[in-house]
Amino acid sequence: MTFRPALSILVTSTFLSAAPAFSMTIGLVAPQHGPFALLGQQMEAGARAASQVDGDKLVVIDESCEAGSGTAIADALIAARVESAIGFLCSESLETSLPKLAAAQIPALTLSVRWPTIMEDALKKHWPFYRMAPSNKNETNKIVEVLVSQWPGFAFALIDDGTIRGRELVDSIRSPLEQRGMKAVFNDTYRPGQEQQISLVRRLQKAGATHVFVGGDRADISIIARDAKAENIPLTLMGGDGMRAVDKPVPLADGVLAVTTPNYADLPSAQAVTANFRKTNIEPDGYTLPAYAAVQFLNATVKQADNQPLADAIAKTTAQTVIGPISFDLHHELSDNPYQLLEWRDGAFQTPLTQ
């Protein structure tokens, strides 16, 4: 997200509601300093803009992402008398804050943390913790769905970069595919971070693969696509959520596919809010619109609560937000899988021309 001067004044004047019917005190846990400060600024811009609509009070708590820091975060939220807390970029913040927040009956919504163990603990101990970030299971399920519908009959390969993330992603889709009668003609682990991957694309060609799912990062997939084109080896390449990264040093070739989240600013549901942000010279990327949606969801929950505790009402609420409808399943995960099949074209991920 790009920031310009006088951010808070501009956001307030643009989004302010004249007569809010409901209001609440919401805590935002987000980095204010250090290497993750930009992500914290994205969260704050979105949450602050949405809070103006219903006259909410937003209390920003700095998130250091250091081990054990959650206790102080929880104490600060409790002292501020927040009714709920959103943000939580880092798992380190949640580990020690959730027990105290649960004891104070303060529900927490993370926009980022996907670590499954935290959710497992929360469910066992009945903590009011919800995940607005898509889970790894969401990613796996969508990839399998896409490959089963798009690649039947094609000779496909499954390759990974040898990292825990890349290997686990590929392993998670291999078995479901084989159960559906889709077996890769080639499996391999490549060395990441290389300047060229010509030997890899030649091995793929030798194996007869025409379609390749890659458990790796965007930079490596860009190089694989470039080298395949240079060798005149036609390959349809697809990656996972790691494809949402900076388009360098090698630009990604048009036609490369990714199963990832959409650019929320392009959604029809986000057009009015996106236009308001752009009036204040803010491009609402990253966590900006998810944070806006989190505040929208909480306000909708309060309006629908009917005197229930907020922590209980969250589980029963469905709210229309800038990023689409939000509700949670019995496991406190998003009810709807946000992942989509997208194609890189003209400098952006877009709906594929053919599906």
What architecture is domain 137-260? 3-Layer(aba) Sandwich (3.40)
Residue 253: per-residue pLDDT: 98
pLDDT in tens, 269-318: 999 999 999 999 999 999 999 999 999 999 999 999 988 999 999 999 99
pLDDT in tens, 110-121: 999 999 999 999
| Secondary structure class of 157 (helix, strand, coil) | strand
How would residue 353 be classed by pLDDT, with cut points 50, 70 and 90?
confident
CATH number belonging to the domain at 7-134+265-326, selected among 1.10.260.30, 3.30.930.10, 3.40.50.2300, 3.30.420.40: 3.40.50.2300
pLDDT in tens, 16-75: 554 455 689 999 999 999 999 999 999 999 999 999 999 999 999 999 999 999 999 999
Which residues of the chain form CATH 3.40.50.2300? 7-134+265-326, 137-260
Q: CB neighbours of 200 closer than 8 A, spacing ≥ 6?
A: 159, 188, 190, 224, 227
**Considering all CA atoms of the chain, what is the largest pairwise distance in Å, rounded to the nearest integer?**
67
Please state, for a pLDDT cut of 70, what percent of the chain lies above it.
94
Residue 19: per-residue pLDDT: 45
Query: Which two tokens mark 122?
Result: 């929360």
Integer-rounded Cα Rg, in Å, for the chain is 22
Alpha-carbon gap, residue 158 to 92, rounded angstroms = 33
Asked whether the predicted pLDDT for residue 9 surpasses 50, the reply is: no
How would residue 130 be classed by pLDDT, with cut points 50, 70 and 90?
very high
The phi, psi pair for 176, rounded to 5°, reads -60, -35
How would residue 156 be classed by pLDDT, with cut points 50, 70 and 90?
very high
